[in-house]
Amino acid sequence: MRTKNWQVPRRRRRDSLFVPDSGTGDRKPLHARLNPFTAILEAARGFLAGDPTNVAFAFTVSAALVFVLAIWAVFGLRRAEKAG
């Protein structure tokens, strides 16, 4: 890959997105284990494969994210209205 001197070539690791957790072994990084969207993607992948896994946890994470983002939006709008 040819780059200009100000560009930094990046190597992206997308294999953990397309490979189930059992196929990655110990290579799954910490941020992927702590990311709430990982649980949602794994549940969606399980539905597509016909083997639903961690569905209750994914729905719980989704509901929590919707709740937190709704609260954040309401308080953000109130703060914006006060600011003028």
Q: Which domain holds residue 41?
A: 15-83
Domain presence at residue 1: no
Does the predicted TM-score (pTM) go above 0.75?
A: no
Q: How many domains does the chain have?
A: 1
CB 46 within 8 A of CB 53: yes
CB 24 within 8 A of CB 16: yes
Q: Which two tokens stand for residue 43?
A: 């549940």
Q: Kindly give, in sequence order, each residue whose CB lies less than 8 Å from that of residue 30, ignoring residues fewer than 6 positions away.
A: none
Domain presence at residue 10: no
Query: pLDDT tens digits, residue range 25-83?
Result: 666 667 667 788 888 888 998 999 898 888 999 999 999 999 999 999 999 999 999 98
